[in-house]
């Protein structure tokens, strides 16, 4: 007879996989889907009345909610334009998801946590496999395999610069830049739960640079720098030499693309992204304290100007305090996590991404584990 606990663990593993998969592909799946799956994960752990959340986690949750309420209040006061309903709804879903995953990581057994880690790694493998299939079918057979067409979308996988067309696979995403960002967030999530192998790091880095996305190439540098810094036997000089060689190799390999992208391209892409910075610099001093709120009433590309700028732009002082709170969370996990911190906050990520909230929830479990290990020595 099959053990009930074995069946429950298999069910938990399956639900975990679909939760992370739908979390990381919110461009094609509704954000309500991973929330439903995460609720099922919670049911697999224990009855709802036994769920425990520590005071520290509750305090941080209240802080997060209050900070977004303050940013929302600025929106009401400072503009009469329609609210960005999608952004506000996703932030709300993200906070709910944060609560759920804090409860899951706190109350799951060691075996369930291991299954959860395996689920994230398996989703990484799925994304990487789809990317390589697209990459190979195009370069071997000149076939453009657009997976998101199955969901009624069309990916932006081609970049034309002059007479040159660059094909950039994007997997289950609309753009290769978003693919690279989500892959990086998943890598950070795995790093919070276990030590990532060099093999995984190199494969993820190769996929990132193959997207021809500038941010993704920077992510590749970040994860290699982070993984190299994890080994305490390596000194700073060898770390710097290794990283310099990798960056130099990327510059040589992508020199034609980089020259075409930044010196020959004339679509005004950079200027469009800088418009929001120019507008930000023209604010009155008082507005810097409050920020612009959650409504982007001028339709600027705030997200593309980095997550760091996004928090400052929308929240002012409150947004800056949010960044400091995340800096503390990264530091609690280890000084080498500062490398990942800069990767996350200087990316074009956003707090409307569900993987961002998953990452936030996992910080608490990882930090507690490190504190407990120190206290037990």
Residue 201 near residue 224, CB atoms below 8 Å: yes
pLDDT in tens, 90-115: 888 888 888 888 888 888 888 888 88
Task: Output the pLDDT for position 377.
Answer: 36
pLDDT in tens, 40-95: 888 888 766 667 777 777 888 888 888 888 887 777 776 655 566 677 778 888 88
3-class state of residue 158 by DSSP: strand
Higher pLDDT, 165 or 348: 348
Burial class (CB in 10 A: 0-12, 13-18, 19+), 51: middle
Gap between the Cα atoms of 253 and 123, Å rounded: 29
Residue 346 near residue 338, CB atoms below 8 Å: no
Number of domains making up the chain? 1
Q: List the domain range (segments joined by +) for residue 226.
A: 4-375
Q: Where are the alpha helices (DSSP H) in the chain?
A: 4-24, 32-45, 55-78, 85-107, 110-141, 176-193, 198-210, 214-229, 236-253, 255-259, 269-281, 285-290, 307-315, 317-333, 337-345, 354-375
Gap between the Cα atoms of 53 and 99, Å rounded: 9
User: Which residue from 188, 179, 211 is spatially nearest to 348, judged by alpha carbons?
Assistant: 179
pLDDT in tens, 317-353: 999 999 999 999 898 888 889 999 999 998 888 888 8
Residue 287 near residue 316, CB atoms below 8 Å: yes
């Amino acid at each position: 007879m099959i053990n009930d606990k074995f069946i429950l663990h298999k069910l938990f593993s399956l639900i975990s996989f679909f939760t992370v998969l739908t979390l990381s592909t919110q461009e094609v799946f509704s954000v309500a889907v991973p929330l439903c799956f995460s609720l099922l994960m919670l049911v697999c752990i224990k009855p709802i009345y036994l769920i425990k959340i520590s005071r520290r986690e509750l305090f941080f949750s209240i802080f997060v909610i209050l900070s977004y309420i303050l940013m929302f209040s600025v929106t009401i006061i400072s503009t009469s334009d329609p609210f960005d309903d999608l952004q506000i709804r996703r932030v709300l879903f993200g906070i709910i998801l944060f609560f759920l995953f804090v409860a899951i990581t706190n109350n799951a057994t060691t075996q369930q946590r291991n299954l959860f880690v395996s689920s994230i790694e398996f989703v990484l493998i799925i994304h990487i496999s789809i990317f390589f299939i697209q990459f190979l079918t195009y370069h071997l057979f000149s076939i453009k395999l657009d997976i998101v067409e199955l969901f009624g979308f069309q990916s932006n996988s081609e970049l034309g610069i002059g007479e040159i067309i660059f094909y950039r696979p994007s997997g289950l995403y609309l753009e290769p830049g978003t693919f690279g960002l989500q892959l990086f967030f998943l890598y950070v999530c795995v790093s919070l739960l276990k030590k990532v192998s060099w093999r995984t790091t190199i494969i993820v880095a190769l996929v990132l640079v193959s997207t021809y996305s500038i941010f993704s190439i920077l992510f590749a540098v970040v994860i290699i720098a982070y993984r190299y810094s994890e080994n305490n036997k390596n000194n700073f000089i060898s770390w710097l030499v290794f990283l310099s060689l990798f960056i130099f190799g990327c510059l040589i390999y992508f020199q034609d693309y980089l020259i075409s992208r930044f010196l020959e391209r004339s679509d005004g892409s950079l200027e469009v992204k800088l418009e929001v910075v120019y507008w930000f610099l023209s604010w009155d001093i008082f507005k810097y304290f409050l920020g612009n709120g959650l409504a982007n009433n001028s339709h600027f590309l705030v997200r593309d100007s980095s997550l760091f700028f996004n928090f400052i732009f929308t929240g002012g002082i409150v947004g800056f305090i949010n960044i400091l709170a995340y800096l503390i969370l990264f530091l609690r996990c280890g000084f080498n996590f500062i490398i990942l911190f800069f990767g996350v906050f200087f990316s074009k990520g956003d707090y409307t991404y569900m993987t961002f909230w998953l990452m936030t929830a996992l910080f608490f479990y990882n930090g507690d584990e490190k504190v407990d290990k120190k206290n037990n020595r």
